[in-house]
Amino acid sequence: MALVTLMVDGASHTLDVEPDMPLLYALRDHLGLRNPRFGCGLAQCGACTVLMDGQPVRSCILPVSAATGALTTLAGLGTEAQPHPVQQAFIEEQVPFCGYCISGWALYAVALLERDPAPTDAAIREAFAGIKCRCGAHSAILRAVKRAAQQIQAQQA
Amino acid sequence: MQPFAVNVSRRSVLKGGGALVVSIVAPRGIAPARAAEGESGPLWRPLSPGQLDTYLSIDESGQVTAYFGKMDMGQGVDLSIAQIVAEELDTALERVDVVMGDTALTVNQGGASGSSGLEEGGNPLRNAAAEARRVLSELGAQRLGVLMSQVGTRDGSVYVLDSPAERIGYGELVGGKHFDVRLEWNGQYGNGLDAHGRATPKPSSEYSIVGKPAARRDLPSIVLGTREYIVDVKVPGMLHARVIRPPVAGSVPVTVDNASIADIPGGRVVRDGDFLAVVADSEWGAIKAARQLSVTWSNVQAPFPEQQALYDHIRNAPVVRESAGGGRGANVAPDVAAFEAALSRADRVVEAEYEFPFQSHACMAPACAVCDYRGDHATLWTGSQKPHYAAEGVAKLLGLPVEKVRGIWVPGPGSYGRNDSGDAAMEAALISKSIGRPVRVQGMRHEGHAWDPKGPASIHHVRAGLDASGNVLALSFRSKGFSAGDMESNESNPSHTYAGMLTGWPDASVPRFNNPGDRYEFPVKLNYWQTIAPLLQRASPLRTAHLRDPLGPQMHFASECFMDELAYVADADPVEFRLRYLKEQRDADVLRTVADRYAWEPRVAGSGVERRGDIAVGRGVAYTRRNSSVVAVIAEVEVNLSSGRVWPRKFVVAADQGVIVNPLWLRRTLEGNVIHGTSRTLFEEVRFSRETVTSTDWASYPILEMRDAPEEIDIVLVNGPELPPYGAGEPSTRTITPAIANAIFDATGARLRRAPFTPERVHAALQKVAT
């Protein structure tokens, strides 16, 4: 066991945990967060995604001791009163089916729009390589990301 | 997790009895109850399907709660129920909440099952709401001092027709009280449960809420990351468990070295019969214990054929059961002689065989369940789409009366039939009873892929005779495959679960299959099926159960591709050829609608839509019917001639699902089916060795990703206001495989008769055409 300090959604937490335990279990079982979620434990699906210093990481394989950057979870992205444009667009496009996979899609979309505010269709498809959705929300997600891009551009204009 | 105040549950409400007795009505938006530490006593009592209060309550503010005994699996069924109830009650949609999935609060309407959420499940809710409006009108007329014929209802209140300012709200009339009105119940539980009062529901011509797009109300919580899923359920004192699976299917534990997990906090072994699991204080501890546990397993003969011999195995295996009827009915002998006689008069005989693999539910996460066994009662939290039946099955497993087990559904990681959730519920119950503590079981990825129940593999042999003009004289469609359900999708029998199979519950598998659902009329038409024995009778990773649109994709892959093959032989356009044999108006209309929308130019298939370098583009059509739902699809696909990659860039879907309740989520549902169907068509095949299933993750069992998602799914909803709503959750799934296969043929002249259409297989088929 070792003391590990995590910065999650703006708050600092010090935990006494096994350093090789994946970050996912620290977030869920020690900090009680409902997202991210376990999907595969193999970095193959994206359901466990969080942002670390703005970059998507798979918390199911990242040792908790390596999570030294500022972490943002889906719940830390926005609030009901002030959702992130990506969250707003997902609601407006009525995206999810079961919604279990949402952290991967939403957070990879956030990271994509940070680096490319006006992505092409091909760039969006490429950005989601390795992210899974089993209910088949892909078409709605494509529309939502384009809508979010427009909203972000409108905000910046 | 805050323990929920369980005493708000409706049993305290409904025990009141007597007409309009003031008591505590279930509050709006009632949350799933939690078993609090130290709580005792029964948590469940049967609700009466013959009471209006079972389906509806109204609080003092006029907020309505509808209690729905089926389930929504993300397609917005509960939202449509709210629309139906609001419509019949003449109140705003926002004023209706829907509770589902808790056996203490809802009657068993069968859970999510057979796309019947609205088609069957909506009936008692619609009738109850209509009856409630009648009762409210009567009460309102009394209070307003006029005759019932002098009042109307709107916006949650009863008003005087001649003097609309004189009005009284529903909340004021019955808020916090019982209706205590009896309904006529048909005596059935499950999908067929129906009940009605004296009131007649509205004609669809008066609908103002049903038929309008409505947004899902649970979406913000999903997108903001605050929604609770089954994996989030925590019960005080809860331990974590993992099930241990054998390295060779069918092998059982012989010796288990408990000391091998001695270093894990709370680590212990649970063994019951041939069922083996580990428990630990923390989830990470349970995962490590499962990896660390040292077990010797019995030596068994490898149960499976080589993967490449699967279809030959099916072809050559002895027939266990044969019938020309439905899988659940008595055997109907196929009249092969009549078919052969008709065939002997044909000028031309066409024959083809199609092969479809085992497929996995492969949900976003392996199943999770929590069970708290307390000696004389138990609480089950489950992601199962049939919580009432799951609770019943757990009661049998635990040896408890059914009313002593409360089942509470919490949203899971997707559900498309009888997936691994039904197994996890039993596993949690078994382990909780064994160690006397609340237990949370969650699978690891390989358990969601390799150990979930599978959609069955099958082959389909089709033969037809044509006359000299290309008219079909006779057609025979024979399916041969593994049973559609070694395990029934109803989870009420432990024999139909993995844990039950390992703890001595008797074999209760039923060999059954089915026939295609089209309405083509040929002079002689013979549909029949043959089932073969499972490769491994008990606890097999290839045990079969319902997977979205059970048997639909495999049967209609064959039947709708064969229609294209016949059209080609008859030198006919595939749409026109189908229309020759569709005599029912709804079926023909849907097929014409999809063709019109696509701007389908009649021609014989095979010349393609366009060709650019290595890319050949083709179009393919498929029509099917499932029960009363009619769907037709046109796929436009790009085939890469050098790599064999297939990309369906566009789908046009026409669907007649009866009256439309919520067009927005009906569209989403159809989109989901198209994409799920595309994934199964192009990518999905369970891999196995002689020993066990080897597709254990997303790398070995790939599914469709964003790069392969279609560019456009154009949906035409054919409204049928004179009809009831028909199930939409599954039927369109079965059209996708044949539509894509027919489009590949149109683009390239290559006929794919084995799914999935991987680049290797497509490439090989292209080589065959070229030579």
B691 forms beta bridges with none
> Which pLDDT belongs to residue B36?
34
Looking at chain B, which residue has its C-alpha nearest residue A130?
B705
What contacts B256, CB < 8 A, 6 or more positions away? B269, B271, B276, B293, B294, B295
* Chain A residues within 8 A of B215 when measuring between CB atoms: 91, 94
What contacts A115, CB < 8 A, 6 or more positions away? none
Chain Cα centroid distance, residue B16: 37
Q: Chain A within 8 Å of B354 (Cβ-Cβ)?
A: no
Please compute Rg for chain B using Cα positions.
28
Most B CBs within 10 Å, among A139, A141, A147, to test the B interface:
A139
Is the model's pLDDT at B2 over the cut of 50?
A: no
* Chain A residues within 8 A of B282 when measuring between CB atoms: 25, 29
> Which pLDDT belongs to residue B32?
32
Q: Write down the mean pLDDT value for chain A.
A: 97
Distance between terminal CA atoms of chain A? Answer: 50
* Chain A residues within 8 A of B710 when measuring between CB atoms: 139
What contacts B5, CB < 8 A, 6 or more positions away? none
Distances (CA, A) of B405 to A44, A127, B89: 37, 46, 33
CB-nearest partner of B414 from A35, A94, A100: A100
Distances (CA, A) of B114 to B383, B505, B662: 17, 27, 19
The whole-angstrom separation of Cα B425 and Cα B496 is 12
Do the chains contact at B671 and A140, CB–CB below 8 Å?
Answer: yes
Instruction: Kindly provide the ipTM of the predicted complex, given to two decimals.
Output: 0.97
The whole-angstrom separation of Cα B659 and Cα B662 is 9
Is the model's pLDDT at B456 over the cut of 90?
A: yes
Average pLDDT of the residues in B262-271: 98
Q: Which helix (H) or strand (E) holds A99?
A: none
Backbone angles phi, psi at B426, to 5 degrees: -65, -40
Q: Please tell me the distance in Å from A85's CA to the nearest CA on chain B.
A: 11
Is the model's pLDDT at B136 over the cut of 70?
A: yes
What contacts A134, CB < 8 A, 6 or more positions away? A98, A101, B362, B363, B364, B413, B414, B416, B676, B703
Most B CBs within 10 Å, among A97, A120, A147, to test the B interface:
A97
Do the chains contact at B705 and A141, CB–CB below 8 Å?
Answer: no
* Chain A residues within 8 A of B266 when measuring between CB atoms: none
CB-nearest partner of B668 from A42, A94, A102: A94
Is the model's pLDDT at B83 over the cut of 50?
A: yes
> Which pLDDT belongs to residue B510?
87
Q: Write down the mean pLDDT value for chain B.
A: 93
Q: Which helix (H) or strand (E) holds A71?
A: strand A70-72
> Which pLDDT belongs to residue B659?
97
Q: Classify B504 in phi/psi space as left (phi over 0), alpha (psi -120 to 50) or beta.
A: left
Do the chains contact at A138 and B675, CB–CB below 8 Å?
Answer: yes
CB-nearest partner of A97 from B231, B414, B710: B414
Q: Which helix (H) or strand (E) holds B198?
A: none
* pLDDT tens readout for residues B469-512: 999 999 999 999 999 999 999 999 999 999 999 999 999 988 99
What contacts B391, CB < 8 A, 6 or more positions away? B44, B103, B380, B382, B402, B405, B406, B407
Backbone angles phi, psi at B769, to 5 degrees: -65, -40
Q: Please tell me the distance in Å from B649's CA to the nearest CA on chain A.
A: 11
Do the chains contact at A97 and B672, CB–CB below 8 Å?
Answer: yes
Burial of B29 (0-12, 13-18, 19+ CB in 10 A): exposed
Do the chains contact at A37 and B365, CB–CB below 8 Å?
Answer: yes
The whole-angstrom separation of Cα B394 and Cα B427 is 9
* Chain B residues within 8 A of A77 when measuring between CB atoms: 224-225
The whole-angstrom separation of Cα B194 and Cα B216 is 26
Looking at chain B, which residue has its C-alpha nearest residue A122?
B707
CB B192 within 8 A of CB A44: no
Task: Return the HEC string of B556-579.
Answer: HHHHHHHHHHHHHHCCCCHHHHHH
CB B52 within 8 A of CB B128: yes
Global pTM? 0.95
Q: Give percent of chain B above pLDDT 90.
A: 92
Residue with structure tokens 């503590």? Answer: B437
Task: Supply the DSSP symbol for A17.
Answer: E
Cα angle: B288, vertex B293, B298; to 5 degrees:
145
The length of chain B is 771
* Chain B residues within 8 A of A64 when measuring between CB atoms: none
Q: Please tell me the distance in Å from A22's CA to the nearest CA on chain B.
A: 9
* pLDDT tens readout for residues B159-187: 999 999 999 999 999 998 989 999 999 99
Q: Which two tokens stand for residue A118?
A: 């006006």
B623 forms beta bridges with B632
* pLDDT tens readout for residues A22-58: 999 999 999 999 999 999 999 999 999 999 999 999 9
Is the model's pLDDT at B322 over the cut of 60?
A: yes
* Chain B residues within 8 A of A22 when measuring between CB atoms: 284
Most A CBs within 10 Å, among B1, B218, B223, B547, to test the A interface:
B223
Most A CBs within 10 Å, among B216, B217, B222, B235, to test the A interface:
B222
Residue with structure tokens 């089942």? Answer: B407
Q: Which helix (H) or strand (E) holds B633?
A: strand B629-640
Would you place residue B761 in the very low, low, confident or very high pLDDT band (cuts 50, 70, 90)?
A: very high
The whole-angstrom separation of Cα B239 and Cα B230 is 15
Q: Please tell me the distance in Å from B43's CA to the nearest CA on chain A.
A: 27
* pLDDT tens readout for residues B373-413: 999 999 999 999 999 999 999 999 999 999 999 999 999 99
> Which pLDDT belongs to residue B770?
86
> Which pLDDT belongs to residue B6?
32
CB-nearest partner of A100 from B364, B697, B706: B364
Would you place residue B1 in the very low, low, confident or very high pLDDT band (cuts 50, 70, 90)?
A: very low
Most A CBs within 10 Å, among B1, B292, B364, B675, to test the A interface:
B364
Would you place residue B7 in the very low, low, confident or very high pLDDT band (cuts 50, 70, 90)?
A: very low
CB B624 within 8 A of CB B555: no
Do the chains contact at A38 and B231, CB–CB below 8 Å?
Answer: yes
Is the model's pLDDT at B520 over the cut of 80?
A: yes
Query: Is the pLDDT higher at B11 or at B513?
Result: B513
* pLDDT tens readout for residues A61-106: 999 999 999 999 999 999 999 999 999 999 999 998 999 999 999 9
Do the chains contact at A134 and B709, CB–CB below 8 Å?
Answer: no
* Chain B residues within 8 A of A138 when measuring between CB atoms: 675, 704, 706, 709
Do the chains contact at B668 and A42, CB–CB below 8 Å?
Answer: no
Q: Which helix (H) or strand (E) holds B271?
A: strand B268-272
The alpha carbon dihedral of B283, B359, B703, B223 has a sign of negative
Is the model's pLDDT at B239 over the cut of 90?
A: yes
CB-nearest partner of A45 from B668, B698, B706: B698
Q: Which two tokens stand for residue B14?
A: 């409904």
Q: Which two tokens stand for residue A60?
A: 């199911």
The whole-angstrom separation of Cα B246 and Cα B296 is 9
* pLDDT tens readout for residues B33-55: 333 333 333 333 358 999 999 99
Q: Chain A within 8 Å of B233 (Cβ-Cβ)?
A: no
Is the model's pLDDT at B675 over the cut of 60?
A: yes
Which B positions 570-609 lie with beta carbon below 8 A of chain A? Answer: none
The whole-angstrom separation of Cα B370 and Cα B373 is 10
Is the model's pLDDT at B243 over the cut of 50?
A: yes
Residue with structure tokens 């399916």? Answer: B479
Q: Chain A within 8 Å of B412 (Cβ-Cβ)?
A: yes
3-state secondary structure of B701: coil
Q: Please tell me the distance in Å from A116's CA to the nearest CA on chain B.
A: 18
CB-nearest partner of B705 from A79, A129, A142: A129
* pLDDT tens readout for residues B419-441: 999 999 999 999 999 999 999 99
Q: Please tell me the distance in Å from B266's CA to the nearest CA on chain A.
A: 16
Is the model's pLDDT at B25 over the cut of 80?
A: no
Do the chains contact at A80 and B228, CB–CB below 8 Å?
Answer: no
* Chain B residues within 8 A of A80 when measuring between CB atoms: 220, 224
CB-nearest partner of B668 from A75, A124, A140: A140
The whole-angstrom separation of Cα B350 and Cα B563 is 11
What contacts B72, CB < 8 A, 6 or more positions away? B78, B79, B100, B112, B117
The whole-angstrom separation of Cα B31 and Cα B410 is 10
Do the chains contact at A132 and B703, CB–CB below 8 Å?
Answer: yes
Average pLDDT of the residues in B11-24: 35
Average pLDDT of the residues in B211-232: 97
Do the chains contact at B707 and A129, CB–CB below 8 Å?
Answer: yes
CB B254 within 8 A of CB B297: yes
